[in-house]
Amino acid sequence: MATTPNPRTGEPLDLTTHLMDQAMGHLFSAALRTAAQHRIADHLAGGPRTAEQLAAATGTHTPHLRRVLRYLATRGIFREDAAGAYHLTPAAGPLRTDAPDSLHPAVMMMTDELFLRTSAAIPESVRHDGASFERLFGVPLFEHLRTDPVIRRLFDDGMSSLSGPVDEAVAAVYPFPETGTVVDIGGGRGGLLRAALRRHPQLTGVLFDQAPPLTHHLLDGDELKGRWRTQEGDFFASVPEGGDVYVLKHVLHDWTDEACRRILRTCHRAMAAGRRLLVIDAVLPPGNAPHFGKTLDVAMMGVVDGQERTAEEFATLLSAGGFRLTRVLPTTAFPSIVEAVAE
């Protein structure tokens, strides 16, 4: 019988079992969504509870809920004790809606039908150029978001949630100047700008994006008062001038190389020579080692016709936009900081 090491325990695992478990990965995504939708982690915040207690609290069917929780526990999401009570685990903690840097909105976004349909269409995507999303919904993702406020809010909430740990990791690692202006291009609700301004009290910032995310920005508060402004616009047309550091976080991975070159040229026109540009995205490592960026890379192919890139690919792309890559800084989160200067 052919075996392979179990990726979770290291014990020998039958290859048939292993491959079928991978093929049924969509069930884990559905189970995770079930726990998030019914806020199981919130109900466990006060201590362990049985499936019966959780079902009563959530209005769900006890036997079915127990089976879902038992499955999630095999992946470290919750833990069942000998008495049949379920506990929060470190992996389940971020599912709490009140947790610092809660990932609940991100899980709800990633497991929404909107994205599940594009993933299911990837076998077809590899036969064509362009994202499967556009073939399924008739328009590109960002155009669809402009016409559906419910999905737009789901997307903005999810992206803000996913960005939280990244924002703090980037602000902690990168040596932002003590004075000057940071321009966050396509910065969503401004989590990264907020983190940078908090660490550097003399720094000012501009949050540049479309209207929907700016409406729910995160920059209010006495500690940042008078040190920021928002500006609505389209980064394909123009971006604010006069900044000292420009940031593109989780922007370039949404777009093809040609579209990225257009964005970079727009930024270059607004920047003085020698000013710094930070691209915050996954930087794909060589070899077969797992990396979350490789997962995102396939997701980008289905959703937006974007891609994750290697350091060499970033260097080529930046050069075409008028920049020189100076260094790549890893962070404690999955993205890296690709630093470049305007030439």
Active site residues: 253
What's the one-letter identity of residue 39?
R
Alpha-helical (H) ranges within the chain are 15-23, 25-37, 40-43, 51-58, 62-73, 104-110, 113-120, 122-125, 132-137, 141-147, 149-173, 191-199, 211-215, 257-270, 292-303, 311-320
60: which 2 tokens? Answer: 């769900």
The C-alpha atoms of residue 303 and residue 117 are separated, in whole angstroms, by: 9
Contact 219, 190 (CB under 8 A): yes
- Cβ–Cβ < 8 Å for 9, 74: no
209: three-class secondary structure by DSSP: strand
- Residue 26's nearest CA partner among 158, 115, 137 is 115
| DSSP secondary structure, 12-71, as one string | EEEHHHHHHHHHTHHHHHHHHHHHHHTTHHHHTTTS-EEHHHHHHHHT--HHHHHHHHHH
Long-range contacts of 45-48 (CB under 8 A, 24+ apart): 45/88, 45/96, 45/98, 48/81, 48/85, 48/86, 48/87
Give 1: exposed, middle or buried? Use CB within 10 Å, 0-12, 13-18, 19+.
exposed
Q: Between vectors from CA 25 to CA 23 and to CA 30, what angle results, nearest 5°?
A: 140
